[in-house]
Amino acid sequence: MLTAAIAGAVAVLAFAPFGYWPLQILSLGMLFYQVLRAANVKAGALIGWAYGFGWCAAGTHWLYISMHRYGDMAAPIAAIAVALLALLMAIYVALAMGAAAWLRQRWVLSLPAMTLLVLPATWTLFEWTRGWLFTGFPWLATGYAHNTSPLGGFAPIVGSYGLGWLAALSAGALLLLVHPLHRTRWSALAGLVALYAAGVGLQYVNWTHPVGRPITVRLLQGNVPQQQKFDPGFVLGALQMYQNAITSAPADLIATPETAVTVLPHQLPPGYLDSLATYSQQTGSTILLGMPVLDEQQRFYNAAVGITPNGTPGPYYQYRKHHLVPFGEFVPPGLHWFVAMMAIPLGDMGRGAEVQAPLAVRDQLVLPNICYEDLFGEEIAGQLASAHRHGKQSASVLLNISNLAWFGDSIAIPQHLQISQMRSLETGRPMLRSTNTGATAVIDGKGVVQSLLPPEQQATLAAKVQGMGGMTPYILYGNKLVLALAALALLTAFLLSRAARRGRAAQE
């Protein structure tokens, strides 16, 4: 179990900011090797649990910063909370490896069937489950490590979970490479070469195409200290800073970070929004403000409010966050005692609609998402597919507004940037990122970062962005393709097992 935990921790080096993606395949290969040697199902599950703990603890240790430094939680309790989260997330890996060990015993499977069919399938199915069960926590999903690897070419077809399945398949083939059976070894090598050659080739396929004229954008990075962000004495200064940054130069789209405005519209200084609306009309600039809003029932939302040149003061465009963060934007039942130990501003927020209209910016349609939401690729793809199914033009540009100041200058920042790159790969659309402390960036439709601001600096990123239209297979089918492949792999393993049993019975 110690070896498995170390292997899991090493896998984190495959993700940003490190990017040593082959380490992940080697790490998974070590996990699969240990599970294959496990004496029973329980041993296989415990090995998986240890691997998952090392992986999650090393990869999300930055949660300690938000709870201790900014949430005023006692250091020992914050450290225990991070460890408990890692132990809970590791259960998914434990179930995946326990299931694989159980199937091996029940079906009496050969080594190739286990390494190429069962282990990659169970790994993928439980990783997908982690992405939606209890609202989901897909951070550090395997596929994100491969946005720059040859496997990235498959992202527009099977998405991030599909890349995770291919990485697990590669790990299984790697085990066969070191197997003493000569024929199996060479077949595994040929399969790996073909897989990665296909991935490289797919990177040259253009699933989407340019639409309309490019737009100019200005993405603001306020660098507002998290410990001051919600301080009533600091709010007016922050509002003035953002107003000055917005009106310093025109652009087709000017975007602020998540909760750049920390107060509700009726709590703003008189004329604040009206002055921005006037600037928008005078310069032709569309302004997107991250701010909380209220609905008619006095329920508030984490939102992005759009002020357009051709609009009148209110009602403005609104995108309301749909996928909320547990403990940050809603409190799971029975866990208010845990939240009470922190001094983090929390609220029982409302959920926006699953499908929301994009914001029109000249020739382009911009679809916002807020912070944590861009971890859920199928939800973003679903919004694009919904417009296509209803005969409407789908969004041509994606925009993420975030406030990651909760996590300091930690690896959470480049990890989130890598997640946004994956959304661009899956949809074939550029992704803009306007953040408080980083990573503020422009990503093209191939998942390549075109421009990036240094973290923890107050600055503005100006760029010209070409919107993209068309449908990738992932937009149309989401995770259905990889789930079908995993199910087919398990069915094939079952049929091979039954055929082997019948052969042995005939010989007897």
Task: Name the token pair of 176.
Answer: 């066969």
Model pLDDT, residue 502 = 86
CATH of domain 209-475: 3.60.110.10
Residues in Cβ contact with 346 at an 8 Å cutoff, skipping those fewer than 6 apart: 327, 328, 329, 331, 339
Model pLDDT, residue 269 = 95
Model pLDDT, residue 347 = 59
What is d(CA 12, CA 152) in angstroms, rounded to the nearest whole number? 18
Q: Is the dihedral of CA 337, 343, 348, 350 positive or negative?
A: negative
Residues of the chain with CATH 3.60.110.10: 209-475
Q: How far is CA 65 from CA 81, 361, 457, in A?
A: 12, 37, 19
Model pLDDT, residue 144 = 98
Question: Could you say which of 56, 127, 329, 371 is catalytic?
Answer: 371
Question: Could you say which of 56, 127, 229, 258 is catalytic?
Answer: 258
What is d(CA 54, CA 56) in angstroms, rounded to the nearest whole number? 6
Positions of the chain with pLDDT under 50: 346
Angle, helix 22-37 to helix 41-59, in steps of 10 degrees: 160
Q: Is 258 designated active site?
A: yes
Cβ neighbours, 10 Å, residue 449: 17
Q: How far is CA 315 from CA 265, 306, 311, 372, in A?
A: 11, 10, 9, 26
List the one residue out of 444, 430, 421 whose CA is nearest residue 398: 430
What are the helix and strand counts (H, E) for the chain? Answer: 17, 14
| Rg, C-alpha atoms of the chain | 24
Going by their DSSP bridges, the two strands 431-435 and 459-465 should be labelled as unpaired
Question: Could you say which of 56, 127, 229, 321 is catalytic?
Answer: 321
Model pLDDT, residue 3 = 96
This prediction has a pTM of 0.94
List the one residue out of 206, 145, 110 whose CA is nearest residue 22: 145
